[in-house]
Structure 1
Amino acid sequence: MSDIERRIVAALADPSSEPPEGLFAPGAITWHSFDEVEAPTVPDTFATLRAIRAVVPDFTMTDVRAGDGYAQYVVTGTLPDGSTLRAAAAAVLHVEDGRCTRIEEYVDTGQLAPLFAALA
């Protein structure tokens, strides 16, 4: 895993959900396959992570594998009803001049349905 991919994944997995200074380019975008909506990575993606962790405090990324421009991982956590969230995901990470400019995350909505229900 290159340093930039490692830093991006670590930032997203960090329970503090605060983006490290200089890691994301101004105007960086995050897109998800499940809703096909583009949103600013900073602050929107990190605000979403904070909202998820308010409901699923142990929400994290495990089994992380990353390389030149991609990351594969499993998001896990304990839902409010005590059941386990487990969703395999992959992300394409676009980097220019040492900064992340775009994240494209692919994840199965069926695996995320219990999380969406808990957030509703």
Structure 2
Amino acid sequence: MVNCIVVDDNQDIVDVFCELLNLIGLDVLAKGMNGMDAVKLYKKYRPDLIFVDLIMPKYDGFYAIENIKDADPNARIVVITGDVKTCESDLLDSLKVIAVIYKPFDVQKIKQIVVDVFLD
């Protein structure tokens, strides 16, 4: 079973997203609320995937992505966000995230990302 971590500052979004992930067969190991949580949880659990929101208080998703990639260049990171500006898209490309999922969530897209990453 593929395991993952979900990080978003909105607890309702985290809860709904985790339910969706469970429905498609992913095991959610932990949940976080900011970029610092994302880094700590990634280092602790080393999940197959980590889903990270971009805009969060304290430490944002960019902080999380950069620090997780420093710790593990092969980390599989999926961004979850409401909107990605052009310059942010370029930055995400340079950080080598595997996908961007826009809110509201598309269950089929989430399934396809998991299939693409783990069955190719």
Q: Normalization by structure 2: what TM-score?
A: 0.30
Between Structure 1 and Structure 2, whose CA radius of gyration is higher? 1
Q: Normalization by structure 1: what TM-score?
A: 0.30
- Taking CA–CA contacts closer than 8 Å with sequence separation of 6 or more, which of the two structures ends up with the larger relative contact order? 1
Q: Which of the two has greater helix per residue?
A: 2
